[in-house]
Amino acid sequence: MSRPVKHSLTLNGHRTSVSLEDEFWRAFREIAEDRDVAINALAAEIDGERGTETGLATAIRLFVLKEYQRRLSALKGR
């Protein structure tokens, strides 16, 4: 695993930075591309759904994990 790397995102017109490991950035970009959605739009969606007790970086990591778990379940026919 790599160390977290800070990237800038624009969420609803406001700039913010999020630190994620390269592996999570790649997976997050792949998911956005698969959904034909801009990465900023997907981040804004996640941001709007997370609770105030969860940081954006954590919310993105959990989103990526859940998406990959969903894909694995679909492959297994569950």
DSSP 26-64: HHHHHHHHHTT--HHHHHHHHHHHS-TTS-HHHHHHHHH
For the stretch 4-44, pLDDT in tens is 999 999 998 999 999 999 999 999 999 999 999 999 999 99
pLDDT value for 1? 64
Model pTM score: 0.90
11: left (phi over 0), alpha (psi -120 to 50) or beta: beta
14 three-class SS = strand
pLDDT value for 75? 86
Strand partners, 14: 11
